[in-house]
Amino acid sequence: MYGRRRYRRARRRREELKFYLHRILFGISVFCIIIVFAAVAFKTRKATQSVEAATALMQASTVAVKTETKDAAMQKQPEFSKDRNGKNGRQDAENEESTAEASRDGQTSLIVIDPGHGGIDGGCVSGDVVEKEINRMIAARVVVKLRNMGYQAELAREGDTYVDKLERVEKANSRNALLYVSIHQNFCEDDSVAGIETWYDGSDTSRDSGRLAQLIQQETVLQTGAVSRELVSESELCVTSKSNMSSCLIETGFLSNREERGRLITEEYRDQLAEGIARGVDRYLNPRTMYLTFDDGPSEENTDRILDILQERNVKATFFVIGEYVRKYPETARRIVREGHAIGIHCDVHDYKTLYASVDSYMNDFQKAYDTVYEVTGVETRLFRFPGGSVNAFNRKVRNEIIEEMEKRGFIYYDWNASLEDAVGKEYSAERLVKNAVDTVLDRERVVLLAHDRVTQTADALPALLNAFPEYRLEPLTVQLEPVQF
């Protein structure tokens, strides 16, 4: 009996000890969890305070980022603009025209810059760096730079406040904003991934968001030297799909990448990012002009393919046609005119020796082509282009006399200052043709680009070619323009 009681007491002590041990372990676990949360909170707050201090310093030393009234912003006219190399130049009539276009259909000139996340929504956190604060610092600088360019720009959120992303977009919609750009940071479990990528809604081509995204990506990479990752067409993002205006979301870097995170926390790099975003916006709103021209057509297969692509992209071009091919493919020639493209005379028969044998020989050939174009399309065109250009090895003896006679009759000739080089006797690939165009454009303000619509590779290259020049507005040639001539 005594032994049984002693056994029960021993078992009770073991159970009590086990109970106390469980309570001690539970207490230690809770204490550890509290310590971990406190450490994370301390680091987050420390990062927030340091970024806020830097933001305050930046804002105190430059234009304050406050909401201007619409009237005050509209009265503010830019006296100078900067080209890609940072050189100052006085704004001309084209910029004034662009400003007027920006306010069409009741749309204001307001540009909304959205610092992603905010308040309780910090976004991604890596080390001492909190996404929401990096976003806000870059966005603040973008607004300052845009205002210094003469634009009306505002932040979608002020300070470290939480504003629902849909609410931000709806506010911009209600104010008929012109552009919406959201700034974010990226994160990846693979910490070697780095670079800039820009997202837009490619399902709605009417807003031209793809061109905005491409220009912002292009200019930001140019300013920073960062890796250009990709343009992403994504219709599910709130800030890009719910906006009524052209919009995009740029991920300016990966906080998960140690090297890139180190750059993002520096004032110099954030300023480069802001400069790139602002220049991308400026390029979008003040495009240069390119006149895409096609010689030697029409051809039934290639010209129709080219017209299909141009129609899909809503791009207008200029076709310098050959009379014998207009007679052979009259419906294609009529389609050129019907779809709003300009048409000009190239020649009637593309035979240099016969064409340039004399002034009379040239004039007879031209008149036959002119009569054909008029009979087939009803257009009395005044545009023409010399086969081989106005200066070539075949017309040296007669070119000046031909030009004098043609101008006396009211015709205007157009050469070119950039080319795909698709008629040089080499069968270049579509990729090479695009590269030729990019290499010869040379960042000019006004480009007349030469192509040939009888070359299959040119039709193959056209989609990529149109994507290669987002900073240019494509227009057809007119007699009102000052012609590019050799």
Q: 415-458 pLDDT, tens per residue?
A: 999 999 999 878 899 999 999 999 999 999 999 999 999 999 99
The helices-and-strands tally (H runs, E runs) of the chain is: 17, 18
What average pLDDT does this structure show over 464-486? 96
The helix/strand/coil state of 195 is coil
How does DSSP assign 299-323, residue by residue?
Answer: -HHHHHHHHHHHHHHT---EEEEEH
- Beta strands 246-254 and 288-297 are unpaired
Q: What tokens were used for 19?
A: 């109970």
* Whole-prediction pTM: 0.74
Q: What percent of the chain has pLDDT over 70?
A: 78
205-248 pLDDT tens trace: 788 999 999 999 999 999 999 999 999 998 789 989 999 999 99
Residues 6+ apart with CB under 8 A from 135: 115, 116, 117, 118, 123, 183, 184, 185
Sheet holding 228-233, edge to edge: 152-155, 110-115, 179-186, 246-254, 196-200, 228-233
Predicted pLDDT of residue 234 = 83
The whole-number pLDDT of residue 34 equals 66
Tens digit of each residue's pLDDT (9 = 90 or more) over 343-381: 999 999 999 999 999 999 999 999 999 999 999 999 999
| Best CA proximity match to 265, nearest among 120, 113, 133, 391 | 133
Residue 6: count of CB within 10 angstroms of its CB: 10
B/e letters for 302-320, b = 16+ CB within 10 Å, e = fewer, are bbbbbbeebeeeebbbbbb
pLDDT > 80? residue 20: no
- pLDDT, residue 105, reads 46
Beta bridge partners of 230: 197
The vertex-326 CA angle with 477 and 432, nearest 5°, equals: 60
Round to the nearest angstrom and report the end-to-end CA distance of the chain.
Answer: 122
How confident is residue 267, by pLDDT bands cut at 50, 70 and 90?
very high
Query: With contact defined as beta carbons under 8 Å apart, do 255 and 194 qualify?
Result: no
Q: Residue 171's CB: how many other CB atoms inside 10 A? A: 14
User: Is the separation of the CB atoms in 153 and 178 below 8 Å?
Assistant: no
Reading the block at residue 79, the tokens are: 């006296």
Give the pLDDT confidence of 160-183 residue by residue, as tens digits.
999 999 999 999 999 999 999 999
Nearest of 185, 347, 205 to residue 251 by alpha carbon = 185
Q: Calculate the average pLDDT of the chain.
A: 85
Q: What would the DSSP string read from start to end of 362-389?
A: HHHHHHHHHHHHHHHH-----EE--TT-
Residues 39-74 pLDDT 10s: 545 554 544 444 444 444 444 333 334 333 333 333
Close Cβ partners of 194 (under 8 Å, ≥ 6 residues apart): 226, 227, 253, 254, 257, 259, 260
Sequence-distant (≥ 6) Cβ neighbours of residue 41 within 8 angstroms:
none
In this structure, how many other beta carbons lie within 10 angstroms of the beta carbon of residue 392? Answer: 14
User: 414 near 477, Cβ under 8 Å?
Assistant: yes
Q: What pLDDT, on a 0 to 100 scale, did the predictor assign at position 63?
A: 39
The H-assigned helical ranges of 125-266 are 131-148, 165-174, 209-224, 238-241, 258-264
